[in-house]
Each structure stands twice: as structure tokens, then as C-alpha cells.
Structure 1
């Protein structure tokens, strides 16, 4: 019987992002099937190239000279359906932006969401992203199998997906921000959440699809929904996700409505823990940071979206110093029209230096957030996020010898401070999903055509 296919990458600058921060100027990585089986300096060991005959694998050799090899990037927060509504409400803060877009989002269905998810993920994958976390929380009546359409889009591209069954049950008539037509009943949400986990969640080590439960935010859901969702998620052994402390307006809402900060409110409802991650966390005081650290609650840092909506700069250096798991997120493509997770590394480094000084965040810390940090946030640090023997082969190979990067002394700086390098290869579970900057499983022209049609259809509604 022929062994699993083997891929050998040699000659690249390898940034493993392991616990020791190991890097090899001219290193090798050997992949067998979906697993990393060798990592180190110099050429690959001789056994890796054994070919031919029964029991010997087919071998693909990749010349990594002039390239930087990193773990595949992990996107910890996105709203893929928003790919269809980019370029709107360009100069609004969060609450005004949401109010402007809710009416359009109320017209989505599975067909247009599938096209948007395919487009949004395609761009993220081309920016080096091997794992996507999508927070979907808008489910209009009779809109079809929206989560199924997102899962199908990820399968088409070959990307790893953590998709949430999000929700809103607090409409404007009950004091919430979203209009009543955009919310569901609490009971319907809990039934749908249970169904989503049973249909799509894969707890296995190599899982390509996992589900989390994700009531949207303190200003769009009831306390009952938050409390019951946490109980349900923990009974089903899945993770929890929500927005938290994104804007000063959110903090004012929570203080006026609950007499508590967003963190205090969520903490009282059982929403801090090592099975929880929150998006943004821009406005955290010292007490909140300490509670996140004590409980192991994760943070999805979304610097471009926070800048686009003028929300502020999250205290990421303080969170990292306290030991809080922090990853990077694109956030909704309607508040980050780029959609490229690779670009968020540089944005995170530069924005956090504005807040914390020139030594506030190094490029290598930015790379850590985009890889191992994100894996911790999604509860997958034992499987992905670093280049180590025994981990899954999610790998990004960046070309750094072209005109944009030739002469940069440090290949890691080429990625974290320079222009985003061309992506020569992206492997997910050992399979090539990007080659020489192009998607291997779908035609990009077809994806662009589907996105344009879906966006026009949604606007017409």
C-alpha cells in the first residue's frame, strides 16, 4: 500500500512561531499527509526523499529559497455576509453604521450569503489565511440554510472554518439597537443553535468545520439569551463568542441599562472563561484585563475595522503581557473593505505602537497574534498555529526576494512591516489551496462574477 503523499519544503527562512521562537535561516519542513513530520535547519533528512516501490509515498519538493515560511494565518473574527455591502456608510461610527446597514442585511438569504462567503474567504485565503472564524448573526425569516451555505463555501476553497450560530433577540422596541425585523425569538435561537452544532460541528483533531454559539452583543441580545446560550454551549462542548467593549457608545449603553461595564455585565452572566472569545475589546480597564487573564478569555483584535469605525486602539500590549489569548481578525468586510488578514499583521503592529510606543509591539509579536495567538483564541493551539512536528500542516510560503522586499535584512520584517509579500503557496491540512498567488480549487473570475451578481441582487431587494 502506498504511503501518504509527502511534501518537502527546503531553503526557506522558517519562522516556526513555536514556544521558543525557533527560526531557521535556510530550513526545511516535511509534511506527510496532513501532518508535519520534520522541521529544522538545513536540507531535509535523507529519508524524506525516499520514493518508489510499495509503501513509499509520492514526494513533492518545493524550492523555498528566497521565501519566508510561516504557519498559516488564523482569522479569529469575520462577518462574511458583509462582503456584499462594502463601501457603504463610509464615514460612520459603529452604531450609525449598523443602523444604516441593518435594512439591507435583513434581505439576505442562503444564496447571496454563500456567494459573499466565497468571495470573502477567497480574499482572506489569498492573504495567507488557512483558518477562518465567521460570526454570522442575521437570520431573516425564510432565508434558507445560511450556515450550510457558509460551510459549503469553505469546503469549496479547502479552508478551515469556525462558524458561529450567532443571534439577536433584543429589537428596538425592547431597548436594543437592531430593528425588530432583524431579530429572532430566544426560543427559536436556542433550537437553531442546538441544530447547528449537531449538523456541522466536528470535534476531531483534523476538523475542517467547527461551530460556536455567538449572541451578537450586549446591545442586541437579552440577558436570558446570553445565559441560556452559555449553558447550551457548555452542554454541547462548543465555544462561545460575542462582541465586547468595542466602542464608548457600547460602554455608555451598558452603564445606563445595566449599571455595569460590558465586561462586568458579561462576567455576571457566565461569559468569561477559557471557552469564550470576544471581538474588539477596545475599551477595557485594568480590572477587565485582569478578569480576562484570570479566566483565560480570548480576544479577537481587529485593528483595521476599529480604525475604519473610529472605535479606538485596543490595549493589546497590556493584554499580551497579562497572558490573555489574543488573535487577529478582519471583522466585517463592510468595515474592512480589504478583507486581507495578512495586512492586519502590519496594521496591528503600527497601531499598537501609536498607543504604547515604538517598542509596544514587535513584528514577531504581530506574527504570533496572527498564528499561534489565533489558534489559542479558537481553542486549537494543540493542532495549528505553529510549525512543529505533530501539528497539522497549515503552512504559508511567502516570496520575499521580489522588488518589494529585496534587501530587507529580516525576512519576518518583510511580512510584518513591509508590503504584503506574494503568497507562493498555502497548504491547509497538507493540501495546496493557493499556488503562485492563485486559488487552486475555484476560478477567481467565477467567484468575482458571483459576488457582483449577489451584491446587485441584494441592493435590488
Structure 2
């Protein structure tokens, strides 16, 4: 069994009232309300009030008062696509496109086990959370036989760090012998994948307001999953009332694959298997034509935009401005750190703006749209916009206080532009449901040095196992 990272500060109930004052505030509400100097009052893990100037006089039971001078308060960042296990395989296949990258890395990924996944999840989560993420999502789809409880390993890591977590129970059942991309020993049977997904939902999914853990049904991609698994997973998810997630339209090679195997493009294929709807979101969606975008808008299907990963694998530039104009819900994703080694979501704000301007001109995306993608857009995509994604009374107190009065930002008058276009801003405070998970740039609940040591050790162990076994038959899947 994987061990928990040593906790530095035990979890405790949030203070009766926490008051933040004198900071700039970008609420990211429907009107884009901002305050040059304002206040936020948190009570019982919920935002009680947000407004201009100091907090109301006479507040009772104020346990902590924070002077936010020189800071910008925003909603916590929401990550909508990731593969935590890749944290221990960063820096490999540096000059490959998606398909060649997958072929090179699948034999290594098929050797993962529970301690490796726990360490990788801890590293991935630690990096994101210390950079302003308050809601994390992971899509795990590699389940070698005998590897242990891989989904549980991720869930324990998220609980240790204190982040809100959406765990997508992925699956692959189309190996190379069936015309798929992954090796046969890296896939499950269709029945086993469906049973395991249902068990994960029954064991872990919490649909209540303020839930810290939700489960998603998430077959991996058209080139690694059978049509039967796609259809049955959609039926299962809707019977259980959970969301659906997969990869879609990521590369031109995928488009060709879908036409050769199914006689249609990815979006039409998804429609034929029940995979368009307001309970579905797709990762990447780089190669979408007008008809595809219209179908997503008509059905409310969401998109996880992963600009750095798309650039790393030379997949192309997603048409995010066109998606937003059509009304498609769009959030941001880190994607796996084998294709985005930084592992940070706050850098995706800047990269989303820059890459979309390369594709669509200087007005394709602005700083406030980029911030919305990383906050409210992500909440929409995860189906949690009523709870998180904006700073409004009644919503969960998931918020970040960014320090913008240092050398990297002090000369930028517009705080939102400083956050999005400037250097990575230090996080002075990050709250999840009113609980501090970051203070003064450091995680509050785990030892960062212990996480780094753990991930380094497990990365070396995986590399050694792979080198020793690469020419031997792989472990059986299931």
C-alpha cells in the first residue's frame, strides 16, 4: 500500500469568519465585476460577502483578518484535464507527435503500480495546488493487472493535500491486435472496465453541494476504446448520474484513424455513441470544423483546452475563440506532465492567450477571457458552476490571493493583466472551502520536500523496471 505524505498541519474546521481586505478583486461573475480595493468575508467555508472597500463594520466571530494590500483575489483555478501518473515519466519522447509519443511511452506506463501512482499524484497535485489550483481533475486509464488500487492512490493524495478532486475512471479495451494504438498488455477487457467504473462510482462519488470528490466515467479515446465500451460507458454514467470525459479531435492522425475505422470523423462518431451532451466534455478538440463546433454548442458539450500540451506535441491550435463565440463551455487543462512538464495551470492562462492569438490575431483572446477559462469555464465543464468558479455570496470559499507587488508585477497597473501576462505570480493564500491549502507560497498540509523525494524515487524505480523488462512479455491486462 502507498503511504500518505507526512502531514504538517492537521485538517481543521474553517474559522467562523475570515476577512480579506484591501485587495484588488476579480470576481469572474456573469458581469465580470472587479474592485480596485475590496473585501471578501468567508464564513463556514462559504463566501458570505464580496464588495468594494473594507468589510462591513461590526462583524462578529472574526477569527482571522488578512490585509491583502498589493494582492489580487480571484476564484481558485479549476483544472479540467490531467494524467497524474505521467509525473514520473516527464522529459521523455521530447520530439514526437501524439501517436509516436504514445507508442514510445505505453510500454513504460504499463509497468506502473500503486506506490508509483500515489507518488505521481502527490507531485502533480502539489505543483498545481501551490500554483493556485483549488479543484483538480485527473483522467487515469492505465490499469495493469496486479498493480494495486491506482484510483484509490490518487484519491488519498488529493485528500492529503486538501484539494477538491474530480477523478475520471478511465479505461482502454482496444489493443493493437484489435486495431488500437496501445499494446494488448496495457488494456482491460470491456466487461472489467465497466465493472470497475461502476464500482468506483458506487464507492467514491459524492454529488452533494461542496463535495470534495466526484467520479467521472472516462474511456480514453477513439483509438484505444471499442465502440461497445463507449456506448456502454455513456449508458452507465447516465444511469448513475455522473459526467463523461474522453479525448477528442486532438490530432490529424486521430481524424484519419476515425474515418478509416468508423467511416466518419470524431464528432460524428461521438454523436453515434451517445457522447454529445451537457454532461460530457472532451480534452483538446484541436481539429474541429464549423459543423463540429455547432454540434458541441447545440448539445452543451464542453472542451478542456490544453494549449501547452497541444504545442509540445505539435497537435495544432484549437479554435477556442470560435468555440466561445458559439457558446461552447471551455475550461483549461494542464494535461499529463509527459507532454507539459511544468505541471502548472496558472501558466496555461498566459499560454492560452498567446497561442490563440497566433491562430486568430491580436484580439482572439484577452486577459480576462483567459482568467475566465481557468476559473468559471472550468467550473462549467465539470458541472460545478453553481458552487465554484466565481467569487459570489453563497458559493464555496475556493479562492486565491496572488501577490502582485513584487518585482515581477509591480509596474503593471492592471492586476488581471499582471496575473495573466506577467511572470508566474506567488500565491500568498489559497483556500479550499475556507481551509488554507497554501500560505506564503508553500503547501500547508504536506511536506513539499518529502513529496519531491518520493516522486524522484518512484520515477527511478519505474525507469529501472522498464529497462529490466522492456524485452520481456508485458504484464497481462485486466
Give the structure-2-normalised TM-score: 0.94
1:361 is paired with a residue whose SS is coil
What is residue 220 of structure 2 aligned with on the other side? Answer: 216
Residue matched to 2:419: 415
Does 1:15 pair with 2:19? Answer: no
8 Å CA contact 2:379–2:388 kept in 1: the answer is: yes
Q: Matched residue of 1:9: which SS?
A: strand
Equivalent positions of 1:384-395 (< 5 A) are: 384-395=388-399
Matched, 1:314 2:318: yes
Relative contact order, higher structure (CA 8 A, sep 6+):
2
Task: State the distance in 2 between where 1:117 and 1:297 align.
Answer: 27
Q: Distance in 2 between matches of 1:455 and 1:365?
A: 37
Secondary structure, aligned partner of 2:80? strand
User: What secondary structure sits across from 1:273 in the alignment?
Assistant: coil
Match of 1:33 in 2: 44
- The residue number in structure 2 matching 1:241 is 245
Q: CA deviation at 1:138?
A: 0.3
CA distance in 1, matches of 2:41, 2:100: 50
CA apart distance, 1:304: 0.2
Partners of 2:291 and 2:445 lie apart in 1 by: 47
Q: Which residue of 1 aligns with 2:370?
A: 366
1:224-269 CA-to-partner distances (Å, cap 9, x unmatched) read: 0000000000000000000000000000100111110101101111
Change (3 A) 1:397 1:4: closer
Secondary structure in structure 2 of the residue aligned to 1:46? coil
Give the equivalent residue in structure 2 for 1:152: 156
Q: Distance in 2 between matches of 1:164 and 1:448?
A: 25
1:395-406 equivalence runs, <5 A: 395-406=399-410
Corresponding residue to 1:24 among 28, 35, 41: 35
> Which whole-Å deviations, capped at 9, do the CAs of 1:75-134 have from their partners, x for residues lacking one?
000000000000000000000000000011001111110000000000000110000110
TM, length-normalised to structure 1: 0.97
Aligned 1:332-347 pairs, distance under 5 A: 332-347=336-351
Distance across 2 between alignment mates of 1:433 and 1:28: 20
Q: What SS does the corresponding residue of 2:58 show, helix, strand or coil?
A: helix
Q: Deviations over 1:303-347 (max 9, x none)?
A: 000000000000000000011000000001100000000000000
Corresponding position of 1:228: 232
Contact 2:15 2:63 in 1 (8 A): no
1:259-408 pair list within 5 angstroms: 259-408=263-412
> Aligned equivalents of 1:259 and 1:179: distance in 2?
24
Alignment-derived partner of residue 444 in structure 1? 448
What is the alpha-carbon distance in structure 1 between the residues aligned to residue 17 and residue 156 of structure 2? 27
Gaps of 5+ in 1: 51-56
- Deviation of the 1:407 alpha carbon: 1.3
Distance 1:151 1:58 in 2: 33
Runs of 5+ unmatched residues, structure 2 = 1-12, 466-478
Cα separation, 2, equivalents of 1:87 and 1:33: 43
SS in structure 2 at match of 1:211: strand
After the TM superposition, which segments of 4 or more aligned residues of structure 1 sit over 3 Å from their partners? none
For residues 172-228 of structure 1, give each alpha carbon's deviation from its aligned partner in whole angstroms, at most 9, with x where no partner exists. 001000000000000001110110001110101110000000000000000000000
- Deviation (angstroms), 1:47: 3.3
- Indicate the residue corresponding to 1:54 in structure 2: none
SS at match of 1:130: strand
Q: Secondary structure at the match of 1:265?
A: helix
Task: Quote the residue 1:6 is aligned against.
Answer: 17
- CA-atom RMSD, angstroms? 1.0
Tell me the CA shift for residue 3 of structure 1.
10
What whole-Å deviation, never above 9, does each CA across 1:134-160 have from its counterpart, x for those lacking one? 000000001111111100000000001
Q: Distance in 2 between matches of 1:45 and 1:3?
A: 20
Q: Confirm whether residue 254 of structure 1 aligns to residue 255 of structure 2.
A: no
1:365: Cα distance to partner? 0.1
Q: Secondary structure at the match of 2:387?
A: coil
Match of 1:72 in 2: 76
| Residue from 85, 95, 98 that aligns with 1:94 | 98
Give SS of 1:364's match.
helix
Secondary structure of the 1:320 match is helix
Confirm or deny: 8 A CA contact 2:278 2:299 kept in the other structure.
Answer: yes
Which of 158, 171, 177 is residue 173 of structure 1 equivalent to? 177
- Of the candidates 454, 457, 461, which is equivalent to residue 453 of structure 1? 457
Aligned counterparts of 2:462 and 2:210: Cα–Cα separation in 1: 36
Does structure 1 conserve the Cα–Cα contact (< 8 Å) formed by 2:14 and 2:434?
no
Q: 2:131 aligns to what?
A: 127
For the 8 Å contact 2:19–2:62, the answer to whether it is kept is no
Aligned pairs, how many?
453
